[in-house]
Amino acid sequence: MTFRALLLDLDDTLVDHRGAAERGLRGWLAGLGLGGDTAETEALVERWFTLEARHYPRAQRRELSYTEHRRARVRAFLPGWDLADDALADEVYGGFLDCYRSAWRAFADAAASIEAALGAGLRVGVLTNGEHAVQSEKLRRTGLLYPDVAVFASSALPAAKPDRRAYEAACRGLGVSPETTLMVGDSLRHDVLGAQAAGLHARLLRRPGQYDATPVPHGVRVLRGLDELRWSVRRSA
Domain extents for the chain? 5-16+105-236, 17-102
- pLDDT per residue over 154-166, tens digit each? 999 999 999 999 9
CATH topology agreement for domains 5-16+105-236 and 17-102: no
Q: Is the pLDDT of residue 100 over 50?
A: yes
- pLDDT per residue over 182-222, tens digit each? 999 999 999 999 999 999 999 999 998 876 778 899 999 99
- pLDDT per residue over 101-141, tens digit each? 999 999 999 999 999 999 999 999 999 999 999 999 999 99
At residue 233, φ and ψ (nearest 5 deg) are -65, -45
Instruction: Give the length of the chain.
Output: 237
- pLDDT per residue over 35-84, tens digit each? 878 899 999 999 999 999 999 999 989 999 999 999 999 999 999 999 99
Question: pLDDT tier at 237 (50, 70, 90 boundaries)?
Answer: very low
| Domain 17-102 in this protein, CATH class | mainly alpha
| Residue range 5-16+105-236, CATH number | 3.40.50.1000
Buried-state track 224-234, b at ≥16 Cβ within 10 A, e below 16: eebebbbebbe
Q: Evaluate the omega torsion of the peptide bond into residue 162 and state whether it is cis, within 30 degrees of 0.
A: yes
Return the higher-pLDDT residue of 1 and 89.
89
pTM for this predicted structure = 0.91
Q: Which residues contact 79 (CB under 8 A, 6 or more apart)?
A: none
Question: pLDDT tier at 234 (50, 70, 90 boundaries)?
Answer: very low
